[in-house]
Amino acid sequence: MASAISILLSKPPEIENHFAVTLSRGRRDGQKFEDVIALDPAVGGIVLPPAEADVPAGQYSISIWPAGKKSAATERTVVLTSEGLWKPIPFPAAGLFKASITNARGEQIAEWMLLVVPQARYQALRESLEAMRSRTATWAGPSARNDEHLFLRALLLSETPR
């Protein structure tokens, strides 16, 4: 009994927002992100956006696949530096991709929808995404963050070259 109480007290209930109807315990999936990334010929690939502050430096596993084709995932190891920056990842081509990063215990820490574009298109698409992100950040309600991710992912899909 003492062990159960100790576990419960060291892991208090988590409330996602004030609209949450129930309290939840346990492991949470990694955070979702959407971003535009330049295909950088100088590094021969891409550099992922900076990690969240609570992600420790070290080696992580990353799965990258073209959006809509999970079976074609590419598995790699990626290194997060002590400054919170990811080391460059070799990458062959532009397009819309999903990426999932997991830690050594197999827990997902982040999930991205990435629009990888040539350097020439990067700045305009980045500004467009940031303008939409600033508008969706003000959305409120029980599913506002899920709706925001859905909207921003649709925006990236609409900008994907065919």
Residue with token string 């979702």: 32
Q: Would you list the domain boundaries of the chain?
A: 28-158
143 CB-near residues (< 8 Å, 6+ apart): none
Low-confidence ranges of the chain (pLDDT < 50): 1, 4-6, 8-9, 11-28
- C-alpha separations of 125 from 37, 38, 66, 162 in Å: 9, 10, 19, 16
**Full-model pTM:** 0.76
Which pLDDT value is given to residue 23? 45
Fold of 28-158: Immunoglobulin-like (2.60.40)
For residue 162 the two structure tokens come to 């065919």
pLDDT at 88: 92
